Structure 1
Amino acid sequence: MKFVQISEDEFSTYMEDHFSHYTQSLANYRHLTHQHGRAHLLGVKNDNGQVIAAGLFSEARALKFYKYFYSQRGPVMDYTNIELVDFYFRSLTDYLKQHNCLFVRVDPYILENLHTADGEIIESYDRRMLIRTLESLGYRHQGYTRGYSKISQIRWLSVLDLQDKSEKQLLKEMDYQTRRNIKKTDQMGVQIRTLSIDETPKFYELMKMAEEKHGFTFRDEAYYRNLQRVYDGQILLQLAYINLEDYVQKLDVKLQQLQAQYKDVQKQLEESPNSKKQKTKATQLEQQIQSTKRKIDETKQRIETDGTELNLASAVYIYNDHEMYYLSSGSNPAYNRYMGAYALQWEMIKFAKAHGIDRYNFYGVTGDFSEDAEDYGVQQFKKGFNAQVEEYIGDFIKVVKPGVYRLGQLARQI
């Protein structure tokens, strides 16, 4: 085996052929190189010259004179092959020393446990040998964290398995209320379209509404514009919207159908005035007619105050050969009744299926499965689509220059 810097083509081909995160991509490498001037594609080749491990490492300045390296969701290799793991990370340490590295962080994209949406462990993976091997080389495991962090990737992801499942089966396996909400968005005429980069403000306006509602701040608009440039061809900024005039027309048609059915029931009652079945049906139709009339009136009032077309929700998605990632979203809470978020998710699940992508990644949850969890509502939303929770192994940090690192920590500069 040989530890080497690999070419862009070798790196890209390897990531296409091996399960990997979208950040371990040629697009991200070129972005890091362009923005920071330096990134590293580091791999291992076997005796036949075949790449058998690869990782993208970013490089940043640390304590003015030193460097910090990071492989986000990497490096990528067969982590059950302990001999390969030992060789890669032992060689990586030598490489980092040559490049004046202060410390390095890695967070391999490998599972620790598979959970139900309620937190129960379905399957556990024994990573003790891997952790012992890495720690013997000085790569210290940072623990089994929960919650969100500003310095590391989320360890808990909500993922829906799409492999070998039809759209019909996916719907059937969803929670009843989720399935019903998706159906209602179709009946109301909620539509989805892709926003251009020049329309990013439409997304960001809805994103800010979500931030205000939940009391957090994430990224500025420029971040999302840049994200679209970096992952051009692999990113979709989606908008769920509704045309209220079209919706009124749908309601008018529904009202006419209900009224026609009600007349038929009245005729049946004239012939059989004591029929409990027809009396019950008449009562149900009366309620539906009144409800539909009320919706028509409310929608017409909404048109007068808010206009004909409403932007309901928007989200940004990135995809590669392995996964569709739902990254960030926002919605207008005043329009929750139109359930734009459900329409968005279902549309993108269908997109993933159409493009042969087997995993739909709803992305992060805290790992706190109690009703008091800060993201309890978000967890329940994702659970409704039949997503399971994947718990990843977490971060490892290797301090290459211990003395300098300790001084930096004392000075609180790391």
Structure 2
Amino acid sequence: MKFITDISEEKYEKFMKNNEYAHFMQSYRWGKFQEIATKRKAYYLGVVDDNERLIFASMGLKKSLYLGYSYLYLPRAFCIDYKNKELLDFFVSELKKFCKQEKIIFVKIDPAFILKKVSNDEKTIEENKDKDIFFKNLFSLGFISLGLNKLFESSQPRFTYRIDLTKSEEDILNNFSKTLKKRIKKCENFDIEIEEGDSSDIEEFYRLMRLTEERKTFIQHDISYYKDLFSIYNQGEYKVKLYKAYVYPKKVIKNYEDKIKRLTEEIEELKSHENYKKSYMNELLKQIEDSKNYIKEYTEVLNNYKKDKIILNAHIIIYYKDMCWALYAGNETVLLDSCSNYGLYKYHILDAKKNKCKFYDNFGAVSLDKKDHPLFGLNTMKQSFGGDFYEFSGEFDLVINKFFYLIFKLLIPIRRKIKYFFLKHKK
């Protein structure tokens, strides 16, 4: 066997195409995108057998630190069966040599190894029978577990909800919660229009992302990040899809005006009958009052935005092989009663099925034992789409240079506080 560090895209993706452990964060194009977006050098590492056949591959991102040192991050770690101790031993042994040559002080991984799967109703738990051998093999190679975090303390989410798209469309929709179904119905009644966009919509998507992230008090990415994602990742079999939900306020106002006219006529007709039901009359009057309130709200939005068409939500979904992940969602702060966000989710979930995806990953949740935490609202929303809950193994570090690793661990909390301060106050 031989360790290599410069696998071609064709050879790398040919290996990934037939690899059941492949992940979009381990794809060749994700590495190229990260080189531009985060200024990290991508290495396409692997092992070939005596016939030069690629039998192992993994993408690593080198982050520069100080004094020429760096660390290597392998997002979602190794695309390998972790029970294959011989191959794992060889790769990690050679990886350590490579890191010493490159002045890399440690390697960080966050494997896409599933520890357990919890059914949507939380009544059934499936533990991964291979988890003990997984941890044993990593620990034997020198990896240190950074713990089983409960929130979003790690580089990537440790929990997620996934929807099984191999089910029929009818079953997928039936698994939506009752509350979600009502919200989607409301979205449809509000004349929300939904469609797939393209790179020309990034400016509007970014505006919505700014609104969303400002509610979290910091901005995560510049607009160039999303433009680079489309231009670099979105090639060939790699797909980045942007979906948008929008409304024409004038059209909605006209529809409500027509509705008020119809309801008023119905009330007059009702009054001509002596034995009409007062409860029904009250319901008609309530509909008129609601319609007037919606007209007022849409008129205010129309006056403030001065646009005939207003995009309320925009989501970015990333595809890799027969899988997709809901990565980014930007949402308006107005017309929330339209429930357009939920209608948009339904649209791209079903579109993923039409595109023959096997699962849809809602990308990010918190631990199920954090029900009292403010972030648990994410779980409630994502659980409503009927997916099962997945827990991953967490982060691990492989220390190459103990002295500088300790220095790094002491300084990184300070650096994060400084970075957070500037992100929070970024215009």
TM bracket (short chain): 0.7 to 0.9
TM-score computed with the length of structure 2 as normaliser: 0.83
> What secondary structure is seen at the aligned counterpart in 1 of 2:311?
strand
AA of the residue aligned to 2:109? V
| Residue 214 (structure 1) shift | 4.2
State whether residues 62 and 102 of structure 1, in contact with CA within 8 Å, keep that contact through their aligned partners in structure 2: no
Q: Residues 124 and 264 (structure 1 numbering): CA distance in 2 closer, same or farther, change over 3 Å?
A: farther
Aligned-pair identity in percent equals 24
Change (3 A) 1:32 1:378: closer
Cα offsets for 1:186-232 (capped at 9, x unmatched) = 23221123444344332222223223434454333332233222322
Choose from 227, 250, 253 the match for 1:225.
227
Counterpart code for 1:182: I
Kindly report which structure 2 residues correspond to 1:393-404, keeping only aligned pairs within 5 A, or say none: 393-404=393-404
Equivalent residue number for residue 87 of structure 1: 90
Cα distance between partner residues in 1 of 2:194 and 2:62: 39
Q: Which moved more, 1:3-12 or 1:349-358?
A: 3-12
Is 1:157 aligned with 2:160?
yes
Do residues 283 (structure 1) and 287 (structure 2) align? no
* 1:362 has 2:362 as partner: yes
CA displacement, residues 35-61 of structure 1 (integer Å, 9 cap, x when unaligned): 748421112334554433210011122
Give, in whole Å, the separation in 2 of the partners of 1:49 and 1:261. Answer: 80
For residue 246 of structure 2, the aligned residue among 218, 222, 241 is 241
Q: Equivalents in 2 of 1:73, 1:177: separation in Å?
A: 34
Correspondence list, 1:101-116, <5 A: 101-116=104-119
CA 1:220–1:87 in structure 2 vs 1: closer, same or farther (change >3 Å)? same
- Aligned residue runs from structure 1 range 124-163, under 5 A: 124-125=127-128, 126-149=130-153, 152-163=155-166
CA distance in 2, matches of 1:177, 1:304: 28
- Say if 2:33 and 2:233, in contact at 8 Å, map to a contact too: no
| Pairwise CA distance, 1:177 | 1.2
1:282-321 paired onto structure 2 within 5 Å: 283-284=279-280, 286-307=281-302, 308-321=308-321
Give the aligned partner of residue 14 of structure 2: 13
Aligned residue number for residue 25 of structure 2: 23
Seen in structure 2, the aligned counterparts of structure 1 residues 142 and 154 have a Cα distance that, compared at 3 Å, is: same
Q: Is the 8 Å Cα contact of residues 256 and 295 (structure 2) preserved in structure 1?
A: no
1:132 partner SS: helix
Q: 1:37 to 1:222 in 2, by over 3 A?
A: closer
* 71-80 vs 208-217, greater mean Cα deviation: 208-217
The aligned residue for residue 192 of structure 1 is: 194
Separation in structure 1 between the aligned mates of residue 84 and residue 97 of structure 2, nearest angstrom: 20
Contact 1:89 1:134 in 2 (8 A): no
Q: 1:101 to 1:263 in 2, by over 3 A?
A: same
Residue 407 to residue 264, structure 1, CA distance change in 2 (3 Å):
closer
Structure 1 residues 121 and 3: alpha-carbon distance in aligned structure 2, compared to 1, 3 A threshold:
farther
Q: Which moved more, 1:73-82 or 1:298-307?
A: 298-307
Aligned position for 2:420:
none
Residue 56 of structure 2 is aligned to residue 53 of structure 1: yes
Contact 2:301 2:334 in 1 (8 A): no
Aligned partner of 1:211 in structure 2 is 213
Alpha-carbon spacing, 1:321–1:302, altered in 2? closer, same or farther (3 Å): same
Structure 1 residue 340: deviation in Å?
A: 1.4
1:32 deviates by 4.3
Structure 2 alignment gaps of length 5 or more: 303-307, 416-427
Task: Give the secondary structure class of the aligned counterpart of 1:377.
Answer: helix
Question: After the TM superposition, which of the residue ranges 296-305 and 375-384 deviates more from structure 2?
Answer: 296-305
- How many residues align? The count is 402
Cα offset, 1:76, TM superposition: 0.6
- The one-letter code sitting in structure 1 at the alignment partner of 2:95 is L
Quote the Cα distance in structure 2 between the aligned partners of 1:48 and 1:194: 45
State the alpha-carbon separation in 2 of the partners of residues 375 and 408 from structure 1.
29
Q: Quick one: distance in 1 between partners of 2:338 and 2:407? A: 56
- Per mean C-alpha deviation after superposition, the further-off stretch among 294-303 and 350-359 is 294-303
Look up the match of 1:337: 337
- Native 8 Å contact 2:297 2:335 kept in 1: no
Question: In the TM superposition, what whole-angstrom CA distance separates every residue of 1:311-331 from its partner, at most 9, and x where no partner exists?
Answer: 322222211123221122232
Q: Partners in 2 of 1:384 and 1:155 — Cα distance?
A: 19
Preserved CA contact (<8 Å) 2:3 2:46: yes
Between the aligned partners of 1:301 and 1:335, the Cα distance in structure 2 is: 11
Q: 1:371 to 1:394 in 2, by over 3 A?
A: closer
**Matching residue of 2:377:** 377
What is the alpha-carbon distance in structure 1 between the residues aligned to residue 8 and residue 216 of structure 2?
A: 44
Q: Tell me, in whole angstroms, the C-alpha distance in 2 between the residues paired with 1:106 and 1:393.
A: 10
Q: Distance in 2 between matches of 1:214 and 1:29?
A: 28
| 1:394 match: secondary structure | coil
Distance 2:101 2:343 in 1: 52
- Which residue identity is paired with 1:75? F
Q: Matches of 2:100 and 2:40 in 1, distance apart?
A: 19
Give the letter aligned to residue 14 of structure 1.
F
What is the root-mean-square deviation in Å for CA atoms of aligned residues? Answer: 3.0
Which residue type is aligned with residue 298 of structure 1? N
Matched with 1:327 is 327
Cα distance in 1 between the residues matched to 2:319 and 2:333? 27
- Secondary structure of 2:67's counterpart equals coil
What is the distance in 2 between the residues matched to 1:92 and 1:199?
A: 42
- CA distance in 2 between partners of 1:34 and 1:303 (Å): 41
Once the 2 structures are TM-superposed, how far is the Cα of residue 392 of structure 1 from its aligned partner?
A: 0.6
Shift of 1:25: 1.4
